[in-house]
Structure 1
Amino acid sequence: MSRPDDLESRVTALETQVRELTDRVRHSQHDAAAARVLAGGADRDVTEIRAEIRDFRQATTSSFTAMRQDLADLRQQMDDRFRQVNDGFHQVDGGFTEVRGRLDAAAAGQQHIVDLLNTLIDQQGSAEPTR
């Protein structure tokens, strides 16, 4: 058997070990509790970040949709304005054609007058006596 003083030192050693283990368990429990608190905070942070990202994504999509609609509206306005300008050019072209026709008619009338005057001059010139 063991000697009594050997038993006492063994019990003392065991008590010391139990105290150390108890301290370690207590520290581990505190660490575990702190880790749970941190994990809970991290979980909340991740949830908040996900919500912020979702909100940002929705805002960006809405912004792009509005910008796309603005560009489509602007394109439609530009097409309408170009159509109006083209219609204006067609009207101007028609006016020039009309004026050109009137000028051609006036020139033809003036040429007819010149021809008549030349005929008259020729007739008067042949009717005059020679001196």
Structure 2
Amino acid sequence: MPPADDDIETRLATVERGVTELREQLAITSSDAAAARMLAAGADHDVSEVRAELRAHTQALNALRETQLEQGRKIDEQGREMRQGFATLATGMAQITALLTTNSGGSENLSD
């Protein structure tokens, strides 16, 4: 028994509706894919900017580290020079004290 014309028409209408829905979904999917590509490109650009800023910050921190190391070496050197100066002063003061002690002992004898 051959299929009825109404049955074929109903099936054809159902298939046509399905094709129309698929076309609509394809348009939406294509639009979503384009938006996703655009967002991905924007995110890639943002990541590149963040990486560039991070490199700049790292360079600044490395330069600051070098400056601090150099200043630390200078402070160490100045500390050594200061200790040497104090040692020289201590030696000189000891000699002056010895001379004063010797001279004051001798001047007391002269005044007697």
Q: Could you tell me the TM-score, scaled by structure 2's length?
A: 0.88
Give 1:76's aligned amino acid: E
Give 1:15's aligned amino acid: E
Deviations 1:18-69 (A, max 9, x none): 0000000110000000000001111111111111111111111111211121
The count of residues paired between Structure 1 and Structure 2 equals: 111
Q: Matched residues in 2 for 1:19 and 1:69: separation?
A: 75
Q: Matched residues in 2 for 1:40 and 1:7: separation?
A: 49
2:97 maps to what in 1?
A: 96
Tell me whether 32-41 or 51-60 shows the greater mean CA deviation. Answer: 51-60
Q: Matched residues in 1 for 2:84 and 2:16: separation?
A: 100
2:76 maps to what in 1?
A: 75
Q: Matched residues in 2 for 1:74 and 1:92: separation?
A: 26
2:88 maps to what in 1?
A: 87
- The structural deviation recorded for 1:108 is 4.5
Give 2:86's aligned amino acid: V
Matches within 5 A, 1:1-131: 1-109=2-110
Q: Matched residues in 2 for 1:35 and 1:22: separation?
A: 20
Deviations 1:54-102 (A, max 9, x none): 1111111111211121122122123212321221121111111112122
List runs of 5+ in structure 1 lacking aligned partners: 115-131
List runs of 5+ in structure 2 lacking aligned partners: none
Q: Could you tell me the TM-score, scaled by structure 1's length?
A: 0.76
Q: Matched residues in 2 for 1:103 and 1:33: separation?
A: 102
Q: Matched residues in 2 for 1:88 and 1:19: separation?
A: 102
Q: Matched residues in 2 for 1:93 and 1:102: separation?
A: 14
- Rg comparison, structure with higher value: 1
- The structural deviation recorded for 1:103 is 2.2
Identity of paired residues, percent?
A: 26
Give 1:80's aligned amino acid: E
